Amino acid sequence: MSERVVSDHRISRKLQFAVSAAVLCVAVTGCGSVADREGAAREAALDFHRAIEAGDFDRACGLLTPATRQALEQDDSCPTALHDADLPSGDQVGVVEVWGQAAQVGLGPDTVFLTVFDGSWLVRAVGCQPDPPGPYDCSVEAG
């Protein structure tokens, strides 16, 4: 009986260690797999587009980075400015690129640029069209 108890105790200790290591890893470094990070960035971009298509501009504003939101609020409120921006719609996910704290997600005719803020992906620029050889030309971006 005592052997069984010791064995269970060891498994429990190992499990505790594995869980603690995983939690510590995610909490401290945010080190999910590449697929996890790409999935999270894709979901954040889709979430933003769904909010726009549903006319829920308050929610969409909550998914922008503080700087992008501030840039939108220069002349009007954020929801009004987003409404007026007339962003292209589309939920067909194209290219998803995640590098460090930055991501790019293709959604239909649109390209969305995101960045990590407090552990979540927030939209930095949206309504972006390629404009080679320079940066993308975006209808909403931080100033």
Partner 1 sequence: MLRDNGLFIAFALLFLGALVGQALTGVAYYNDQQLAENLQPISVVRYVTSSSFAVDVAENWQSEYLQFLLYIVGTIYLVQRGSPESKEVGEEGLETDEEQKVAEHAEPDSPRWARIRGFRLAVYSRSLALVMGLVFGLSWLAQSIAGRAAYNEEQLNQLQDPVGWVRYIGSSEFWNRTLQNWQSEFLAVASMVVLSIFLRQRGSPQSKPVGSAHEATGVEG
In contact, 142 and 65? CB cutoff 8 Å: yes
In contact, 26 and 40? CB cutoff 8 Å: no
Of positions 67, 75, 82, 92, contacts partner 1 by CB under 8 A: 67
Contact region with partner 1 (CB under 8 A), list: 9-17, 47-55, 60-68, 77-85: 60-68
- Based on the shown chain and the rule CB under 8 A, indicate whether residue 46 belongs to the binding site for partner 1: no
Write the CB contacts of 107 (distance below 8 Å, at least 6 apart in sequence).
45, 46, 49, 90, 91, 92, 93, 94
Contact region with partner 1 (CB under 8 A), list: 6-14, 49-57, 84-92, 113-121: 113-121
- Based on the shown chain and the rule CB under 8 A, indicate whether residue 128 belongs to the binding site for partner 1: yes
First-to-last alpha carbon distance for the chain, in angstroms, is 68
Residue among 92 and 119 whose Cβ is closer to partner 1: 119
What token pair was written down for 83? 């409404």
Q: How far is the CB of 105 from partner 1 (least distance, A)?
A: 11
Q: Which residues bind partner 1 (CB under 8 A)?
A: 28-31, 65-67, 97, 99-104, 113, 115-118, 124-125, 128, 130, 134-136, 138, 141-142
